[in-house]
């Protein structure tokens, strides 16, 4: 996995889109040592992504690559972002790279030693826990009663279940977090941008049948 620094050295400037939370963040990074220009707006991604781009005043066609948050977070926001990126890369092919929100926070300065969680629906939680040495582990999906005791959740992340007692809230400033982890290999090449999933969806097969009227004997039995 490449780091932000290596990606910007090869492909900059980068347009960054993060719609994982209710605060949509859009940034323009010229190079590995550039703090970037950032805009954020609260609301639905279908509107706020374009408002952020307009506020930045950048030309999407000038971006050498795209970075986006693949989750965990708002599936609607992330998939809206993915549709935009697929459209832009069809118009002009460029590399896309994704990062995971909870891993970014876990490796940043605001969650030392803590697990990082987000609502996964159906009484489950996404969690990036820590190993014995304090290093972040791959994201898991577990019930609330199994969450680590020391935990936090990024600000502006929605939750439908009650937030487990004792959970701290920490900042989710994407520009700051990316700068703090610029040398860490956190990015994933994403030629077909989409939302992060713990596992591929499974589909149940069924055999189609032609609808038929009940037989005369069955109809007679029902009448009796």
Q: At what angle do helices 45-56 and 75-91 cross, to 10 degrees?
A: 50
Tell me the mean pLDDT in the region 101-117. 97
What mean pLDDT comes out for the span 46-58? 93
- Write down the pLDDT at residue 196: 78
Q: What is the mean pLDDT of the chain?
A: 91
Amino acid 212: pLDDT: 65
* CATH no. for 4-189: 3.30.420.40
Extract the runs of DSSP E, i.e. beta strands, from 72-222: 96-100, 115-119, 124-128, 140-143, 151-154, 168-170, 188-189
Q: What is the pLDDT of residue 197?
A: 73
d(CA 174, CA 176): 5
Residue 162 confidence (pLDDT): 94
- Give the model's pLDDT for residue 201: 47
Which two tokens mark 136? 């972040």
Is the pLDDT score of 198 beyond 70?
A: no
The pLDDT score that the predictor gives to residue 187 is 98
Q: Which residues pair with 97 in a beta bridge?
A: 67, 189
Q: How far apart are CA 93 and CA 64, in angstroms?
A: 9
Q: Is residue 221 predicted with pLDDT exceeding 60?
A: no
Q: pLDDT tens digits for 151-167?
A: 999 999 999 999 999 99
pLDDT tens-digit series, residues 19-36:
999 999 999 999 988 889
Query: What is the chain's length?
Result: 224
In angstroms, the CA 124 to CA 142 distance is: 5
pLDDT at 160: 93
Which tokens go with 100?
Answer: 């995971």
Decide which of 72 and 201 is more confident: 72
The per-residue pLDDT for 33 is 87
Q: What is the helix (H) or strand (E) element at residue 155, kind and residue range?
A: none
CA distance 17 to 40: 10
């Amino acid at each position: 996995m490449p780091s932000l620094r290596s990606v910007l050295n090869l492909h900059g400037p980068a347009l960054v889109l993060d719609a994982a939370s209710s605060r949509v963040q859009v940034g323009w990074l010229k190079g590995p040592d550039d703090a970037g220009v950032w805009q954020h707006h609260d609301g639905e991604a279908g509107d706020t992504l374009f408002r952020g781009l307009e506020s930045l005043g950048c030309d999407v066609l000038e971006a050498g690559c795209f970075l986006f948050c693949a989750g965990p977070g708002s599936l609607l926001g992330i998939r809206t972002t993915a549709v935009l990126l697929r459209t832009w890369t069809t118009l002009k092919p460029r590399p896309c790279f994704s990062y995971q929100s909870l891993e970014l926070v876990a490796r940043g300065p605001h969650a030392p030693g803590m697990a990082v969680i987000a609502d996964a629906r159906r009484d489950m939680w996404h969690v990036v826990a820590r190993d014995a040495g304090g290093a972040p582990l791959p994201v898991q999906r577990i019930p609330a009663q199994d969450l680590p005791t020391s935990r936090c959740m990024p600000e502006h992340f929605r939750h439908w279940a009650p937030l487990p007692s004792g959970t701290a809230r920490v900042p989710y400033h994407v520009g700051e977090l990316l700068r703090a982890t610029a040398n860490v290999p956190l990015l994933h090449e994403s030629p077909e941008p989409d939302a992060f999933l713990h596992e591929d969806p499974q589909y149940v097969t069924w055999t189609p049948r032609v609808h038929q009227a009940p037989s005369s004997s069955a109809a007679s039995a029902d009448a009796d």
